[in-house]
Amino acid sequence: MPLDKLSSRTPAPATASSAPDPIRMEIVRGALRSAQLEMNSLIERTAMAPIIREKQDYFTGLVDKDLNLLIGTKFAFGTRIVAPVLEHFPASEMRPGDIYLYNDCYGTNGAIGHMPDLVFVTPVFHREQLEAYVFSWAHFIDIGGLQPGSMAPNATDIFHEGIIIPVVRFARGGEIVDDIFNFDRRRMMDILDRVVASKLGPALHFPNALRTDMLDEGQIKALRRAGTFFLCAAVETASPRLQKLIKKHLKVEKVEENIRIAAREGMYVRGFFMLGFPTETLDEARSTVDLALRSDLHEALFFIVTPFAGTALYELYQETLGERGFLQQQPEDVGYHHAHYNLSAMSDAELFGLQRRAFRRFFLNPKRALRIAARHPAKRELVRYGALTLLKMLPHPAARGSKVSGGTTIGPVSNGELESTRTHLATAWEVAEPVRRLDTRRRHASPLPTVAS
């Protein structure tokens, strides 16, 4: 080849302004590599499955906002992994703390090889601007299906291989989204339209998985057309302050409107309510009961807030015991329907008395009783259901006790005690009441000194 032609193909030397700073390049390279190693280490340390921890069947990576791969382990197909998320959730709608999840091989055009590989994608922001995406997938040892391990050689259908998760927003702003069927509205309507088109005539029941304040009238009618006969609304509380405290941020007025629409469309609607949140006042609890009473619900269940192990509420419960000088205690008789714990600013008599009165006022309304009889989906169960409901109306042992200041109940009613075992957690009180400690070995309560505020 002539030298003149060869020289014409030689790139021009980089100028001082365009040449990358080699020191800066190494710093950036080291920072990205460090981020990758931290992700890998975190997965290996927290993985319970040997296939992830020992075989290292996982992948981590980082792509820029244009989906150019910056770092990645083992396989360089980061663009394929992130692209399906952007097809369902535009980048302009993403927030810091969002997490996206999927394992659908076919719905994502082969972004992953098989369904046991669960993918997590998170946007990365810098100075409130979206700059990159970090992602990982790992082989989960069992996602259901025809055989244990989700690797069935005799599978004849994709559904034999395990649960299929389309692209969903698993967390919003750092908070896990558990009511996700109607979170992706387009997907929900597509599923309902396909159900209607199939002409199978299914009976759909939603005991959960619907965020009621995100529905509109058209979506509720679509649910009904697809065969939905039973819908539940998890309201929890009517208090805006407590909605913020529990980080649910439910639009209560919208829920009330949608309950009315769903009942009008012919669905049986049940509501879930909780009484006794930390610092909850009697007026706030009454507002929750009043919401249920004025609504078009066929059925309302009023639960007492209970500190289940493994929850932030349980940790608060144990921390309060420690602050007051008590040994940690395991809550007894923990259950939705027989809770004996009072974490609110109400006395036991006020809280448990309000719960029983709420059941009586709701279900002893003749008009509502007729609506239940007409719409209840399992009429053969009405007698048993009615008997259980009547039991909830009976006076609670604590409701017959003397009225005391607010506090945190730390044990169940035992051996004829009128007041449950308690320490104080209310936001304000003037005089602390004597508390009692439950001896779980001897099954009797021993008095303790007065707790000073």
pLDDT digits (tens, 9 = 90+) for 187-242: 889 889 988 988 878 888 888 788 899 999 999 999 999 999 999 999 999 999 99
Percent of the chain with pLDDT over 70: 73
- CATH architecture of structural domain 22-172: 2-Layer Sandwich (3.30)
pLDDT in tens, 68-127: 888 876 555 556 889 899 998 999 989 998 999 998 888 888 888 788 888 999 999 998
Would you state the pLDDT for residue 449?
31
| Closest to 393 in 3D by CA, of 360, 427, 351, 352 | 360
Calculate the CA 395 to chain-centre distance: 33
More confident residue, 215 or 141: 215
Give the long-range contacts of residues 306-310, CB within 8 A, separation 24 or more. 306/331, 306/334, 306/335, 306/336, 306/339, 306/341, 307/331, 307/334, 307/341, 307/343, 308/334, 309/334
Q: Please report the beta strands in 212-353, taking only residues with DSSP state E, as ranges in sequence order.
A: 228-236, 268-275, 299-304
Would you state the pLDDT for residue 443?
35
More confident residue, 171 or 328: 171
Would you state the pLDDT for residue 172?
78
So where are the chain's domains? 22-172, 199-450
Would you state the pLDDT for residue 142?
79
With bands split at pLDDT 50, 70 and 90, how would you rate the model's confidence at 16? low
- Which residues, at least 6 apart from 110, have a Cβ–Cβ distance to it below 8 Å? 80
Report the relative pairing of strands 228-236 and 268-275 from DSSP bridges.
parallel
Would you state the pLDDT for residue 206?
85
Would you state the pLDDT for residue 257?
96
Other Cβ atoms closer than 10 A to 333: 13
Distances (CA, A) of 352 to 335, 342, 344, 361: 15, 9, 11, 14
Structure tokens at 255: 């829920």
- pLDDT at 410 exceeding the cut of 50: no
Please answer whether residues 372 and 452 qualify as being in contact, where contact means their C-beta atoms are separated by less than 8 angstroms: no
Would you state the pLDDT for residue 431?
29
Kindly calculate the radius of gyration of the chain based on its CA atoms and give it in whole angstroms. Answer: 29
- pLDDT at 288 exceeding the cut of 90: yes
Q: Mean pLDDT of all residues in the chain?
A: 76
| Closest to 212 in 3D by CA, of 271, 255, 265 | 255
Entry field: residues in the chain: 453
Prediction pTM value: 0.57
Would you state the pLDDT for residue 398?
52
Would you state the pLDDT for residue 234?
92
Q: What is the rounded average pLDDT of the residues 271-277? A: 93
Q: What is the rounded average pLDDT of the residues 19-32? A: 88
Lowest mean per-residue pLDDT among 29-33, 127-131, 259-263, 329-333:
329-333
Structure tokens at 46: 């927290």
Distances (CA, A) of 113 to 155, 386, 441: 16, 52, 55
With bands split at pLDDT 50, 70 and 90, how would you rate the model's confidence at 333? very low
Would you state the pLDDT for residue 328?
56
Would you state the pLDDT for residue 381?
72
